[in-house]
């Protein structure tokens, strides 16, 4: 794995841990101030860390569990990097039956002044 792949994998791990621990604040901290999240299918985009926090809090409160990001590739070019991969999650139905779902994911990151990578766009299907 390249350095950027290791760094993006670490971000994925932080995201999944925060999501599964129901910590929307920690999820939002992984995004730049001007980040845009574009939910699927054809959901309304949300912009800014507060909106990102509220969006993911809504998913958590709706009962989405067991979130997992899987890195396929990450590439760095100067102060920008992108990730393509897959995601998976689950929800428990009213009868207690767990339903799993997932798809493809693409994120673009910008290196911040402090050297951290933060997501600036996040889209999935």
Q: Name the pTM for this structure.
A: 0.95
pLDDT digits (tens, 9 = 90+) for 20-53: 999 999 999 999 999 999 998 878 999 999 999 9
Structural domain containing residue 20: 3-124
Number of domains in the chain: 1
* Torsion angle (degrees, nearest 10) of CA 35, 40, 41, 44: -30
The CATH number given to whatever domain includes residue 12 is: 3.10.450.50
Q: Is it the case that residue 15 has pLDDT exceeding 90?
A: yes
Q: Are 68 and 88 in contact (CB under 8 A)?
A: yes
């Amino acid at each position: 794995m390249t350095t950027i792949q290791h760094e993006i994998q670490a971000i994925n791990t932080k995201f999944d841990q925060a999501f599964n621990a129901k910590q929307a604040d920690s999820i939002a901290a992984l995004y730049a101030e001007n980040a845009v999240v574009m939910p699927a299918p054809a959901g309304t985009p949300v912009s800014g860390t507060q909106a990102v926090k509220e969006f993911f809090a809504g998913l958590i409160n709706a009962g989405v569990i067991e979130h997992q990001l899987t890195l396929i590739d990450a590439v760095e070019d100067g102060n920008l990097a992108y990730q393509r991969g897959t995601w998976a999650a689950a929800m428990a139905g009213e009868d207690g039956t767990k339903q799993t779902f997932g798809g493809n994911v693409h994120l673009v990151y910008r290196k911040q002044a402090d050297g951290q990578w933060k997501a600036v766009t996040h889209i999935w299907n």
